[in-house]
Amino acid sequence: MNQKTLRKLFKEMGFVRTGGSKEEKECALKIVSYLDKLGLKAKLESFKIPDAKVLEGRLLVDNKEIKCCGYRLAKDATISAPLYYLANWDDGSLSQVRGKIVLFTGYLNRSRYEELTKHGAVGFISTNGTLIDEDRDVDDRELRPSVAKDLEILPGVNINIKDAMKIINGAFKNATITLRQEKIEVTSHNVVCKLKGESEEEIILSAHYDSVPLSIGIYDNLSGTLGILGILEKFLDTKHHYTLTFLFCGSEERGLLGSKAYVKKHQKELDKVRLNINLDMIGTSLGNAIAVCTSDQKLVHFVEYLALIKGYPLKASQGVYSSDSTPFADSGVPALSLARIAPLDSLIIHNRHDQMKYMSMEKMKEDIRFAYELTKIMANAKYLPVQKEIPQNMKEEIDHYFHRSKPNK
Ligand SMILES: [Zn+2]
C-alpha cells in the first residue's frame, strides 16, 4: 500500500464511528468494498449490544446548570444529594461518599465503580479532557455492563474537567442529576476475510476500526486497520502455509466487544488458531514501537531478535495490552499486539486531537513492513514453535485485566 493510497483511505474512513452506529457500519462496508476490489470476499459478522438513547441528561450544582452528558445505561432518576469531590480513592476519602453524589476526575472503571457502590454513593460525575485544552468537549459515555455487573446501578453524568475545576473552586454544596433514557439494542460488525493457506490452521491478524465519540480515530485505530490491509495486500500473490484470517473488529472501544464476539462465535474453531497478531495504534511521527506478547517469553525474544535483525527499533515485552489481542489470549490463543506509542499518548487519543497531522506515512510503511515480516515468517513456518499455551503469570494478568481477580498488593 503506497503513501497515496494510505492517505486516501485515512481520509475516506476518518470520521466518528462509534461501536454499533450507522457510521461504524459505513466504515465496515468501505473495508468490504476495498477487499472486493482486490478480488476478495469478506464476511460481515454482526453482534448485538445493549445501549440507550439519552432523552434527558442534566446536572445542576447549587441550581447552576453544568454542561454534561448523561451516562447511557446508568439509572434513570432525578436525584438531589450533597456533592462530594473524591480526590483520592483511599479508604478515608471513600468513607465520606455515603449518600452523596461523587465527583472524580477521569474514567469510570470496574474497580472505581465497585468502590463507589460499596461505599454507598448515590450518583457519580466523571470527567474528560485536559485543563490546558481550549475546547469544552464533553464525552458521551456509557455505564458498561461489564463495569456494573452484579452491582447496584447508579445515575451518572460526565462533564469537562475545566467545569469540574470550576465546581471545586466554588463553595459547592448540592448536586442534582436528572437522567432519562430509552433502552435500545444496536448492532455492531466484525469484518472477516480469509487468505487460504496450505494448512487449515490459522494465524489471525486483527485491528479495530471503530472510534470513540469525540474522535475520528486516525491513529486509534484506522492506522492498525490500514496496517492489516497493507499486510494482506503483500500476501495476495504469494503462497503461505498457514491460513491467514484478517479480522477487522467493531466496538473495541466499548470493551473489546468485537473480538469477544468473534472468539465466542468461533469457539469451536479456535483450536485451529495458532497465533493472533493485533495492530492497535501505529504510524505516529513521534513515538516508539512496542510489541506486547501475551504468550511465553520465547515469543518476546523472537520478536526482539527479528526487530534487531531487520533494523527496526522496538521494545518487546510480555504482558497484556488493552486491545483485541486480549480476548484471544483469554481463549488460549497466544497473542501479540504491535503499536507505536506516541509520547503524548494520553493527549492524542480518545479526543478531537486524534488527527492526521500527528501521523507519518513513512512510519506507517515501516510499521506495516515489520508486522508483515513477522507475519511472513510465522505464516511460512515449517513448524510454528509458539506454544499453544498461555503461561500462568499471563493468565493471572488477564484475570486482573477483566476484573475477575485483584492483583496482590
Ligand atoms: Zn485502539
Rounded average pLDDT over 98-111: 96
Distance 198 CA to ligand 1 centre (A): 32
Q: Can you give the residue range of the structural domain that contains 97?
A: 56-184
Tell me what pLDDT residue 87 has: 97
Q: Could you tell me if residue 407 is inside a domain?
A: no
Domain boundary (130, 150, 184) is at: 184
Q: Could you tell me if residue 155 is inside a domain?
A: yes
Domain boundary (164, 184, 204) is at: 184
Distance 329 CA to ligand 1 centre (A): 17
Distance 120 CA to ligand 1 centre (A): 33
Question: Would you put residue 234 in left (φ > 0), alpha (ψ -120 to 50) or beta?
Answer: alpha
Q: Which residue has the cell 484470517?
A: 245
CATH number of the domain residue 378 falls in: 3.40.630.10
Q: Could you tell me if residue 406 is inside a domain?
A: no
Distance 331 CA to ligand 1 centre (A): 20
Distance 34 CA to ligand 1 centre (A): 21
Q: Which of 83, 87, 74, 80 is nearest to 101 (CA)?
A: 83
Joined grid coordinates for residue 160: 469537562
Distance 258 CA to ligand 1 centre (A): 12
Mean pLDDT of the chain: 96
Rounded average pLDDT over 327-339: 98
The answer on 329 and 235 residing in a single domain is yes
106 CB neighbour count, 10 Å cutoff: 11
Distance 176 CA to ligand 1 centre (A): 34
Phi and psi of 300, rounded to 5°? -60, -50
Distance 200 CA to ligand 1 centre (A): 29
Joined grid coordinates for residue 134: 481550549
Q: Which of 260, 254, 242, 255 is nearest to 206 (CA)?
A: 260
The answer on 219 and 308 residing in a single domain is yes
CATH number of the domain residue 156 falls in: 3.50.30.30
Tell me what pLDDT residue 46 has: 98
Tell me what pLDDT residue 406 has: 80
The answer on 199 and 115 residing in a single domain is no
Domain boundary (129, 152, 184) is at: 184
Tell me what pLDDT residue 171 has: 84
Rounded average pLDDT over 301-320: 98
Distance 150 CA to ligand 1 centre (A): 27
The answer on 170 and 73 residing in a single domain is yes
Distance 332 CA to ligand 1 centre (A): 22
Cβ neighbors of 15 (< 8 A, separation 6 or more) are 23, 26, 27, 216
Q: What is the pLDDT of residues 201-252, one digit of tens each?
A: 999 999 999 999 999 999 999 999 999 999 999 999 899 999 999 999 999 9
The answer on 137 and 251 residing in a single domain is no
The answer on 31 and 113 residing in a single domain is no
Distance 62 CA to ligand 1 centre (A): 38
- pTM (predicted TM-score): 0.95
Distance 221 CA to ligand 1 centre (A): 5
Distance 357 CA to ligand 1 centre (A): 18
Q: What is the pLDDT of residues 168-182, one digit of tens each?
A: 999 899 999 999 999
Q: What is the pLDDT of residues 341-380, one digit of tens each?
A: 998 656 788 889 899 999 999 999 999 999 999 999 999 9
Tell me what pLDDT residue 408 has: 66
Cβ neighbors of 289 (< 8 A, separation 6 or more) are 282, 307, 312, 313, 314, 315, 338, 339, 340, 341, 367, 370
Rounded average pLDDT over 3-10: 97
Ion ligand 1 — residues with CB < 5 Å: 220-221, 280
Distance 253 CA to ligand 1 centre (A): 7
The answer on 353 and 208 residing in a single domain is yes
The answer on 156 and 225 residing in a single domain is no
Joined grid coordinates for residue 3: 503513501
> How many domains would you assign to the chain?
2
Rounded average pLDDT over 274-280: 98
Q: Could you tell me if residue 313 is inside a domain?
A: yes
Q: Could you tell me if residue 409 is inside a domain?
A: no
Distance 254 CA to ligand 1 centre (A): 10
The answer on 372 and 224 residing in a single domain is yes
